[in-house]
Amino acid sequence: MRILGIDPGFAIVGFGLVEAGRGRCAALRCGAINTPAGLPLPTRLLQIARDMETLLEQFRPDAMAVEELFFNTNVTTGIGVAQARGVILMTAEKLEVPIFEYTPSQVKQAVVGYGKAEKRQVMDMTRRLLNLKELPRPDDAADALAVALCHARSSTSLLSGRG
């Protein structure tokens, strides 16, 4: 099963493609969609939509796993990320790619085994589970791989009701 993990944002959208099967996961590709800060938000959203469409057509994933939003203190940034996330979800739906959504705690639980794990722990376990020599850059790409791993582990769990 090919899973495209997405760490949504409007400045940077992290993506990570994994192949999951027979109890193993392998990273196939990862990277980021970057939108220039000087562009108006609608222009940035259009770029995200176009780039997501290209990724989905190129990778042809069986599923797309997207991290749900976590609002910290900056609501203005959160609104922009929510809009970008909407564009990402709409693009996958348009191309008929099944969408699965996970909270940050669910990702941490699936990857590290502890829902309140530190970011560093998640990144290190992602690297280990995928047998990567080093952490992917930018961090958004590593986060996206963790989201894809979360889906790989959740979708094969007998407890998930999907496996």
94-104: pLDDT as tens digits: 999 999 999 99
Question: DSSP 3-state assignment of 13?
Answer: strand
CATH 3.40.50.1110 fits 2-155, yes or no: no
Residue 139 annotated as catalytic: no
Flag whether pLDDT at 158 surpasses 60: no
Predicted model pTM:
0.92
DSSP 19-53: EEETTEEEEEEEEEEE--TTS-HHHHHHHHHHHHH
Map out the domains of the chain as residue ranges: 2-155
* 140 tagged catalytic: yes
Tell the burial category of 1 from Cβ atoms under 10 Å away from its Cβ (0-12, 13-18, 19+). middle
Rounded to a whole number of angstroms, the distance between the first and last alpha carbons of the chain is 12
The per-residue pLDDT for 78 is 81
- Order across the sheet with 99-102: list the strands: 24-34, 12-21, 2-7, 63-67, 99-102
Of the residues 19, 53, 67, 143, which is catalytic? 67
Residue type, 15: F
**118 among known catalytic residues:** no
